A and B are shown apart, each in its own frame.
Chain A
Amino acid sequence: MSDLDCREFVELVTSYLEGSMDAQAEQDFVDHLALCDGCERYLDQMRRTSESLAELPGDSIATDARSALLDAFRSRRG
C-alpha cells in the first residue's frame, strides 16, 4: 500500500472526482484504491450519492404565478 491510509483517502474523494489533484497525489490515491476494497466502495458510494441528487424531482411553479408571468411576457414582448 502507498503512504495514504483510508482515513486520509476518504477526505480526498471529492478532489479526485473533481479532477483537482496534482499528479503525485492522484497517483497515491489511485494506488490506494487499487488495493483497498473498503475505499473503493466508499468512493463508489460518494459517486452514487452525487448522482442520486440529480434525480431529485423539483417543485413546480404555482399555476397562478405561471400564468401571471406568461401574461407579463405577452404584454411586454407580444
Chain B
Amino acid sequence: MAGLPADDVLAERLRSGDDDTFALLLDGWSGGMLRVARSFVSTEESAAEVVQETWLAVIEGIERFEGRSSLKTWVYRILTNTAKRRGTREHKVVPMSSVDDSGPTVDPSRFRPAGDPFPGHWWDFPPAWPSPEQGLLSGEVRDRLAKALAELPERQRLVVVLRDVEGRPYDEVCELLGITAANQRVLLHRARAFLRGKLEEYYRERS
C-alpha cells in the first residue's frame, strides 16, 4: 500500500475518529492478516474472528500506540497474540522453540557422489524457467504456490508467509514468533527451497 500517510498521521486520524482512514487500513491489511491468522488457528471462521478481534482491539487501544514500532507492526503484534491465544484454546499449538527441520533441502541424488572427479557438483543443472515476461505469475502458478504453501509444516509456513508474502521485516518476524534470527533463517530457507522445488516440478511438467 504505497501512498499511505505516515504512521503518526494515521494514528492521529484513527484517534480522532476518521472512518475513511480506518476503512483504508481495514481494506489494505485485512487480507494479509487473514492469511497470517489462518496459520495459527484451525478454521477459516476462527481466522476471520481473530482478524475481527484484532481490529476491535485496535479501535479500543489506538491510544496505546506510541510510535516505537511501525503501526503495522503494532497491529500485527496484536494479531499474532490474539491468534496464538486462540490456537492454544483450540489445542492447535505451533511449537516455536525447536528446530527439528534438518537435512538437505535439495535431493542429494542431484549431486555427484564422493569419488566422482567433481564430488558435490550438479549432475544436471536445474532446468531453466521461462522468463517472467512469459507470465511467471499466471493464475496457474499462483494456484500452485498457494497449494504448496498449504503443504508446508506450520512454522515454515508462518515464517515464509510473514516474510515473503506479507513482506514483514526479519526482526519483526523474530519478535512476533518468538524465534531467533538463526532459527528464522533455517525455516525460511527450507520453506523457499520446498516452494522452489514445486515451481520446478510445475515447469518440468509443462516443458
When each residue 30-59 of chain A gets 1 if its CB lies under 8 Å from chain B and 0 otherwise, what string results? Answer: 000000111101100110111011111111
Given A5-B119, A61-B31, A70-B23, answer yes or no on A46-B193 (Cβ-Cβ < 8 Å).
yes
Chain A contact residues (Cβ within 8 angstroms of B): what range? 35 or more
Per a CB cutoff under 8 Å, which of B22, B35, B51, B188 touches A14? Answer: B188
Give the interface SS of chain A, mostly helix, strand, loop or mixed.
helix
Chain B residues in the interface with A (C-beta under 8 A): 14-17, 19, 22-23, 26-27, 30-32, 34-35, 48, 51-52, 55-56, 59-60, 104-106, 108, 111, 118-122, 124-126, 128-129, 132, 136-137, 141-142, 145-146, 149, 160, 164-165, 167, 170, 181, 185, 188-189, 192-193, 195-196, 199-200
Given A7-B104, A7-B120, A38-B126, answer yes or no on A53-B185 (Cβ-Cβ < 8 Å).
no
- Pair A72/B196 contact, Cβ less than 8 Å: no
- Return chain B residues, CB-CB under 8 Å to A14: 185, 188-189, 192
- Return chain B residues, CB-CB under 8 Å to A20: 181, 185
The 10 closest A-B pairs by CB, nearest first: A58-B31, A5-B120, A38-B125, A14-B189, A77-B17, A53-B164, A61-B30, A38-B122, A7-B120, A7-B111
- Pair B26/A69 contact, Cβ less than 8 Å: yes
Give A74 Cβ to nearest chain B Cβ, in Å.
6
- Pair B59/A72 contact, Cβ less than 8 Å: yes
Given A6-B120, A62-B48, answer yes or no on A52-B145 (Cβ-Cβ < 8 Å).
yes
Given A37-B125, A65-B52, answer yes or no on A49-B32 (Cβ-Cβ < 8 Å).
no
Give A51 Cβ to nearest chain B Cβ, in Å.
8
- Cα separation A77 to B165 with both chains bound (whole Å): 32
- Pair A59/B34 contact, Cβ less than 8 Å: yes
- Return chain B residues, CB-CB under 8 Å to A72: 55-56, 59
A18, A56, A65 interface centre (most CB from chain B within 10 Å): A56
